[in-house]
Structure 1
Amino acid sequence: MQYVKGNNIFGIKWTEGYGYEVKEFNIHEFINGVSTPMVCRFRKYDTIEDSILDHGRLLNFSRYKSVIITRKLARTSIIRVTVLTMSALKT
């Protein structure tokens, strides 16, 4: 893997009180469809592994549960349709 500044491979922004060092970057954020230059704070990790572990912890927060559940339901529905289609083709 190529070098990633601050070992933050998922681009997780820094939040006070979470125990991570901070690294500031000049970036562009889209605000109302307009690319706007700004300085943002991102979490800085000691290793890539720390970044991966933190990303996993972040996805376990309740605000992301619905996204994960929706993806699992969509995947399950696709599998069911495929099985039903294959069953129909066999008859």
Structure 2
Amino acid sequence: MTDGSWSAVPPGRTDTAVRASVGNDGRTSTKLDPRVRAGISLLTQADEDTVAPGLARLANDLESGSRHTRHAEVLTLDTIDVGYRLIVADS
């Protein structure tokens, strides 16, 4: 960011957090479980009325197989960079 909002972050490095095991390993369906969603900060910050339609679409896509069809190319990858970054401060 160039607006200075990172000025409080001590010097360090930024690492790419690569998502491994992209394939259909069952992790996507676990997002339908409220206990799993409770540990996903993005989903806990949104209210249920916002999250519910997306969860319904996800459940439908998993049941119909359309998610796998739509994302078949991605599901064959061993790893993927989806933009997550880990900021590591020097001590």
TM-score when normalising by structure 1:
0.25
Q: Which has the higher contact order (CA 8 A, sep 6+)?
A: 2
Structure with bigger strand share is 1
Of Structure 1 and Structure 2, the greater helix share is in 1
Larger Rg: 1
State the TM-score, normalized to the length of structure 2.
Answer: 0.25
